[in-house]
Every structure is written in structure tokens, then in C-alpha cells.
Amino acid sequence: MINKLVSKIKKLNAPIVVGLDPMLNYVPEHIQKKAYEEYGETLKGAAEAIWQFNKGIIDATYDLIPAVKPQIAMYEQFGIEGMEAFKKTVDYAKSKDIVVIGDIKRGDIGSTSAAYAVGHVGKVKVGNTLITPFDEDFVTVNPYLGSDGVNPFIDVCKENDKGIFVLVKTSNPSSGEFQDRLIDGRPLYEYVGEQVAKWGESHMGDEYSYVGAVVGATYPEMGKILRKIMPKTYILVPGYGAQGGKAKDLAPYFNEDGLGAIVNSSRGIIAAYKQEEYAKFGELNYADASRAAVEFMIKDITENI
Amino acid sequence: MINKLVSKIKKLNAPIVVGLDPMLNYVPEHIQKKAYEEYGETLKGAAEAIWQFNKGIIDATYDLIPAVKPQIAMYEQFGIEGMEAFKKTVDYAKSKDIVVIGDIKRGDIGSTSAAYAVGHVGKVKVGNTLITPFDEDFVTVNPYLGSDGVNPFIDVCKENDKGIFVLVKTSNPSSGEFQDRLIDGRPLYEYVGEQVAKWGESHMGDEYSYVGAVVGATYPEMGKILRKIMPKTYILVPGYGAQGGKAKDLAPYFNEDGLGAIVNSSRGIIAAYKQEEYAKFGELNYADASRAAVEFMIKDITENI
């Protein structure tokens, strides 16, 4: 699956991923209204609204983008019905041949991580039948529990041609509280990065590993060091755009082959119609605004790296 | 909710929580068979089997136990249908007046953590309607992203009389890979513990904070130090029984008032009928075996702390 992701990035010349993180206040009035008319102001109504919103964005951008990254929290907040919208979004994106990175940030001890893994990137056995529950292509994984928490994901990925991105240095302001703590003069995230590179050796694709890393765009000087520590690791870079990361800061995340990183934008793409630059599209044409924002993002990044 | 938990622990003289982590191979043949006859070897069939299994255990133990801790991964592995079984289990336990600790180990950046929080321990707004999606009483939270990832949970808990348990030192063998790294001579988990105590000050119950900690039973010498660092923090202690933690090692996790810790057992209780000591109950009476295992666990712990 990492080979497919790399090949799509090359073909489209677009090292980007669209974060499908639909807050209800991003969803245009007409979509919400229709969903509530059909299902009421219920979890099902909310789930229908975000699903229709996502579908519009996928339809308007699928030929430009290699991948989408639905953030499961934005679905899980609407309970079971929200999880159904998540699943529909995953399936629909895959039907359009888009690589799906489930941003689930799971991580637990052995057998429990294995359960998350089969649920999201594997197959679960019921009686004598194997079933694929959520079926993303990649998921994000939290490393706090160490190898016990990560290896079960890698094992399941090996069996199913899937991959993971392990949190190394996150994009949020307080990420340094624990991640930047110095151990023998070097920050914790470097040790995590080294471990990611090591985990990655056990599941290599053609050029890059199936085990990737998450490193926020908001810390480019750290990105530079981590790029060196993890040369064969694809880096998923959140924090571009709305969180303050600039395209000119992204060069250190890439290798000299122009590969090795995929930059995420969520709000900046899916709620583009709310920004001044794209307001001309109007709320009704929110998906066209998203397409224009994708075109700008690809240009902005490829010209600056 | 921490007051309710403490009061139930006192009343039942039972500082324990039953981990409802149903692997399919724990579920007796007759329950699986019936579920598959009705729904086939499908996710729905699996979900029905684990729900009926849980219901039997809750019915057989609810008068003895203050709390249950369903591990969401064991449900999520069965997709949407599994999540429905999780929700049913939460609701059923609450209908029996058992405190529910959702072992979800979520944690993300600000708005995303807020979404998990409203989904699990709060209310989500749809149009002008407030809805409670999963509605556990407590959830477990991963601290790797720092305060940004934890504070949104605390804010939602304040509004809804709910609480959290933050991972500090987990029970698994590789937990030391990152958690034990020395920073100025002290391990990372101590810094996390200090932060948990600080977060906890902002949301206090009568004697203990709504912000608890997870510290594995497998590391009692660390439990002793963490107990001192976090005097007002309830400690959720996994790892007793099947993972190797012994009752005599648990004393350091408790305060002198005999409170301050709640010990989890999952496999040791819910799959008791598979152990030699309880084999006499037979598979059909698995729930009675679980009750006997609960009675033993309460005695074992209260006599040793």
C-alpha cells in the first residue's frame, strides 16, 4: 500500500492528503437542513450531513488527490451513526481509488492493539469466516506503550498490504510537554523516531517503509532532524495552513527525490468556502471551493520544496 | 462521578473493576452458536455473541462490583456492529447502577480531543439539540500530546460530572521503552504523573480528583512513587491476575485510608470458567464462575492491602 501511495503521489505530482474532519459548522446550511428534514436533529441527521458533505468534496477533488485522511473523532462524536458515516466515507473514497489514511491514533497493549488492527486494517475472524470491518489503507498509531502497542499493527499490516503512521512529533502547541523532554541531551521524539525507523525495517515497500511517522509542519527544525533519523520513513505532516505551517517550511520533510512526505490540510480544504479567497464560490458550491484550495495547495507545496 | 465511584467502592468494600474485554474465544460455545444461528457468521453475529456474554456476566456480578471497564478495541474490531454491542453494554451496566469506565485510550489535539470527549463523556450538539452518544462515566486518555490533548476532556467532564484516567505507566512489558526514559535522572512517567496531579487540581471531587491515572500492577515500586506524586489521584490498576500482578504487590497503590486505587481484572474474571479453579462450573455456567472469581478477587485484594 505504501507503493501505491508513492506511485499516486508521483503520478499526480501532489504530495498532499485532504483531512476529512467535518465539524458540523463546516457543513453548509443546505446540506444540514436537508439531513435534518429527513432524519431530524439526531445523530443520524448529523451523520447524514457530514457524509453528504464528504461525498461532495470527494467528487470534486478525487482526480487531484492521492489520499484522504478522515479523522475518526469527528465521526465518533456522533456515536454509532457517526461511525457509519466514517465507514461510508472510507468505502466511497476507496471506490474512487483514493488511498485512505484513518486518523485513529489508537495504541494499547498487545492483544488490544491487535484488535484495533484487525478492526481497521485487517480481517476479523467470526466462526470460520474472515470479515474486513473498517478497512482503511493506513491508520495512525500512538507510540506511548512502546513496541507491544505497535508490533501487532505491523503484523496485521504485513498480512493485508496495509501501513501505519506512528505519532513522533505532533503539531499542537503543547506537544513539547512530553515529546521534547531531553534524555541524555536529546528529545524524546528523536528516540521515538529511531524506533519508528527500526520498526519500519521489518516491513519495507519498494523505496519506503509501510511504517510511516507523523511529524507536525509547525516544527520544521525538528522535521529536518527526523528526516535524517528516518530516511526510509514516509512522513505524514499535519499542521499546514490553518495550524500555521507554511509551504516554505516543508522542504526539510522531503528527501532529495522529492518524496518521503505527504502534507495534510483539513480545514483549509474542506471549509475553504468560508475563507475570503474562496468566498466567491458561495456556500452552495463549497466543493468547488475545496477543489480550488486543493489546486492552490499542490502548487504552493510543489513550488516550495 | 468520582464521588459515586468512591462511595460504591466503600459500600461494597471492593476496590475492583471488571474488564469487559470479550475476545470471541472467551465466549462459550452455546452463546456463539445461538448468535450465529440467528445472524450468521457476521459482524452482527459476533456482536450479538459478545453482548449476550457480557449481559450474563453483569447479571451475575452487578451486586458485588462498583465498576466495569469495557475495552472498546474488543468491540471496535467488529466494526459498527461491535460498537453497537459496546453501547448496549455501557447502557446495560449503567441500568444496574454500575460505574462504567470506557477504556478507549483516546488522545489528540484540541478540537479533536474535544470531539472524542463529547462523544464518550459529554453531549454533542446537532442543530439545537443536545445528544449523549456513548455516555460512559469515565474514559481513559493517552497523554502523549500533552495538555492540549487532555484539557478538552477535563472541560467536558466538568460540564457533565464525568472523569478520566490518564495513562501514566502502563502494565505491558515494553511500557518502559519510552515511559521509563530518564529525564534529569527521573523517568518520563513521573513527569506525566506530576502533570496528572496538576490537571487533577482543576476538577476535584470530595476526596479525590475527577482526573485519575492508569498505573500497571506489574510495576509496584513505581506505583509507590506515583502514589506519593499524585496523592489525590485515583489510580486505575490493570495487570492483576492474568498479566502477573499479585495482590500483595498492590498495597503501594492505595492510600492509608484504604482508598485511592481500583484494580482491574479482565480475563481472570470473564473467562474464569476456563481456569482450573473454576472449571467445575462448566461452560454453561460461565457467569457463575465469574461471580466466584469476583468474590475471590475482592477477598484477595482487601486482605492484602
Residue with cell 467488529: B78
Pairing status of strand B124-126 against strand B129-131: antiparallel
Q: What is the C-alpha radius of gyration for chain B, rounded to an integer number of angstroms?
A: 19
Q: How far apart are CA B229 and CA B279, in angstroms?
A: 42
Name, in order, each residue with C-beta under 8 angstroms of A63's C-beta and a sequence gap of 6 or more: none
Nearest to A243 by CA among B144, B199, B106, B108: B108
Active-site position among B34, B87, B105, B274: B105
CA dihedral A167, A170, B78, A67 (to 10 degrees): -90
Yes or no: say if A213 and A261 are a contact pair by the CB < 8 Å rule.
no
pLDDT in tens, A90-115: 999 999 999 999 999 999 999 999 99
- Subunit contact A171:B109, Cβ cutoff 8 A: yes
- Quick one: cell of B212? 485519575
SS3 state at A225: helix
Task: Return left, alpha or beta for B97; rule: phi > 0 is left, psi -120 to 50 is alpha, else beta.
Answer: left
- Which residue of A45, A79, A109 is in closest CB contact with B172? A109
For residues A14-43, one letter each, b for 16 or more C-beta atoms within 10 angstroms of the residue's C-beta and e for the rest, the string is bbbbbbbbbbbebbbeebbeebbeebebbb
Q: How far apart are CA A248 and CA A232, in angstroms?
A: 22
The whole-number pLDDT of residue A247 equals 87
Name, in order, each residue with C-beta under 8 angstroms of A111's C-beta and a sequence gap of 6 or more: A152, B23
- Which residue of A142, A148, A181 is in closest CB contact with B188? A181
The whole-number pLDDT of residue A89 equals 98
- Quick one: cell of B202? 482543576
Q: pLDDT averaged over chain B?
A: 96
- Subunit contact B133:A43, Cβ cutoff 8 A: yes
Residue with cell 488511498: A99
The whole-number pLDDT of residue A245 equals 75
Mutation target among A105, A121, A165, A219 for the B interface, most CBs of B within 10 A = A105
Q: How far apart are CA A134 and CA B262, in angstroms?
A: 33
Report in angstroms the alpha-carbon separations of B91 from A155, B55, B137, B254: 34, 11, 11, 30
Per the annotation, the verdict on A248 as an active-site residue is no
The whole-number pLDDT of residue A185 equals 93
- Quick one: cell of B31? 452463546
For residues A113-138, one letter each, b for 16 or more C-beta atoms within 10 angstroms of the residue's C-beta and e for the rest, the string is bbbbbbbbbbbbebbeeebbbbbbbb
Task: Return left, alpha or beta for B105; rule: phi > 0 is left, psi -120 to 50 is alpha, else beta.
Answer: left
Mutation target among A172, A186, A196 for the B interface, most CBs of B within 10 A = A172
- Subunit contact B73:A106, Cβ cutoff 8 A: yes
pLDDT in tens, B72-106: 999 999 999 999 999 999 999 999 999 999 999 99
Angle at A230 between CA A228 and CA A233, to 5 degrees: 130
- Quick one: cell of B219? 510495576
Q: How far apart are CA A116 and CA A145, in angstroms?
A: 14
Angle at A292 between CA A287 and CA A295, to 5 degrees: 125
- The arithmetic mean of pLDDT across residues B124-140, rounded, is 98
- The arithmetic mean of pLDDT across residues B222-228, rounded, is 95
Q: pLDDT tier at B70 (50, 70, 90 boundaries)?
A: very high
Active-site position among A4, A10, A105, A232: A105
- The arithmetic mean of pLDDT across residues B299-303, rounded, is 95
Yes or no: say if A224 and A22 are a contact pair by the CB < 8 Å rule.
no
Terminal Cα-to-Cα distance of chain B (whole angstroms):
24
The whole-number pLDDT of residue B72 equals 98
Sign of CA dihedral A179, A182, A187, A189: negative
Q: How far apart are CA A163 and CA A176, in angstroms?
A: 26
- Subunit contact A146:B79, Cβ cutoff 8 A: no
- Nearest-CA distance from A161 to chain B in Å? 18
Q: What is the DSSP string of A183-201?
A: ETTEEHHHHHHHHHHHHHH
How many residue pairs bridge chain A and chain B with CB atoms within 8 Å of each other? 220
The whole-number pLDDT of residue B104 equals 98
Residue A263: other Cβ atoms inside 10 A: 26
CB contacts of A76 in chain B (<8 Å) are 115-116, 119-120, 133
- Subunit contact B115:A146, Cβ cutoff 8 A: no
Determine the residue of chain A that is closest to B70 in CA distance.
A112
pLDDT in tens, B166-180: 999 999 999 999 999
- Which residue of B43, B134, B174 is in closest CB contact with A133? B43
CB contacts of A119 in chain B (<8 Å) are 73, 76-79, 82
Residues of chain A with pLDDT below 70 are none
Determine the residue of chain B that is closest to A49 in CA distance.
B126
pLDDT in tens, B133-162: 999 999 999 999 999 999 999 999 999 999
SS3 state at B179: helix
Residue with cell 451523520: A47
- Nearest-CA distance from B10 to chain A in Å? 30
The whole-number pLDDT of residue A246 equals 84
ipTM of model: 0.97
- Nearest-CA distance from A286 to chain B in Å? 20
Q: pLDDT tier at B246 (50, 70, 90 boundaries)?
A: confident
Q: How much is the pTM?
A: 0.97
Domains of chain A from N-terminus onward: 2-304 (3.20.20.70)
